[in-house]
Amino acid sequence: MSLTLFGFGASRSFRCLWALEEAGLDFEYIPLTFGSDEAGGSQCDDYLVRNPQGKVPTLQHDDFVLTESAAILNYIDTLADGRFIPKGAKARAKYDELASFVVTELEQPLWTFGKHRFAIPEEYRVEAIFETANWEFKKALNTLQKLVALDSAPNHYALGDSFTFADILLAQTFHWAFRFEIEVPQECLDFRDEMFKRPACVKALARIE
């Protein structure tokens, strides 16, 4: 099996890198230069064949390619015999609910920050959007607190008493907000810190440093 993850730093690709380490799969990690059209860049022709958007992450498994982080996590779970996503119709539905909320609501204001700080051409950046994005993020955090109870207690996870890939999605998103210098509740940072102590996360962080 040839399994390759293309990524960039602490972006969305990090959640996939972390998941691969949790799963214990044999894989290659290829870091890209963000925005570059030179060899090894996210805009070079060789990469755009795999990911036409020129974004990360991209997972290639032999000749099969996936380019959305949530889908990649689901696929990694399948390769890992379903050890990281709950089984059973209701438990799986609650996982899907939380995962969908993270990628469609919680992280979207953060990507707005990213786009208007560095990702899109300067002539399209709007500084005034930051106030709106900050409001959206706080609103999403308030909703999140009604969906899950987060604290830093040992073995306390987003969906009960066992680790799932939902914990990766949340911890990485909280870290993304922290790096963008957005105010994040202490309980969320405590949760991130607890998850980041996991050996698989430590290994993943070492790959991007």
Pair 69, 21 in one domain: yes
Residue 74 has pLDDT above 60, yes or no: yes
> What CA–CA distance (Å, rounded) separates 33 from 18?
20
- 102-143: pLDDT as tens digits: 999 999 999 999 999 988 999 999 999 999 999 999 999 999
Rounded Cα distance between 60 and 181, Å, is: 33
Same domain? For 143 and 43 the reply is no
Domain co-membership, 37 together with 75: yes
Q: Which amino acid is at 77?
A: D
Domain hosting residue 99, numbered range:
89-197
Averaged over 89-102, what is the pLDDT?
96
Q: What is the band of 156 on the pLDDT scale with cuts at 50, 70, 90?
A: confident
Domain count, the chain: 2
Please report, rounded to a whole number, the percentage of residues in the chain having pLDDT higher than 70: 97
Q: Between 103 and 156, whose confidence is greater? A: 103
The answer to whether the CB of 204 falls within 8 A of the CB of 18 is yes
**Do 97 and 77 sit in the same domain of this protein?**
no
Residue-wise pLDDT for 10-58, tens only, equals: 999 999 999 999 999 999 999 999 888 899 999 999 999 999 999 999 9
Q: Are residue 108 and residue 75 in the same domain, yes or no?
A: no
Asked if residue 45 and residue 121 are part of one domain, the reply reads: no
> DSSP assignment of 42-111, as one string?
TTSHHHHHH-TT--S-EEEETTEEE--HHHHHHHHHHHTTT-SS--SHHHHHHHHHHHHHIIIIISHHHH
Kindly report the CATH number assigned to the domain that includes residue 97.
1.20.1050.10
Q: Residue 143: how many CA atoms within 13 Å on its side-chain side?
A: 14
The C-alpha atoms of residue 69 and residue 74 are separated, in whole angstroms, by 9
Same domain? For 47 and 129 the reply is no
Q: 52 Cβ partners below 8 Å, 6+ apart?
A: none
CATH code for the domain in which residue 19 is found: 3.40.30.10
pLDDT, greater one: 160 or 144: 144
12/107 same-domain check: no
Q: pLDDT value at position 149?
A: 82
111 and 186 co-located in one domain: yes
pLDDT of residue 207 exceeding 60: yes
Residues 118 and 136 in one domain: yes
Q: How far apart are CA 177 and CA 183, in angstroms?
A: 8
158 and 106 within one domain: yes
Same domain, 46 and 17: yes
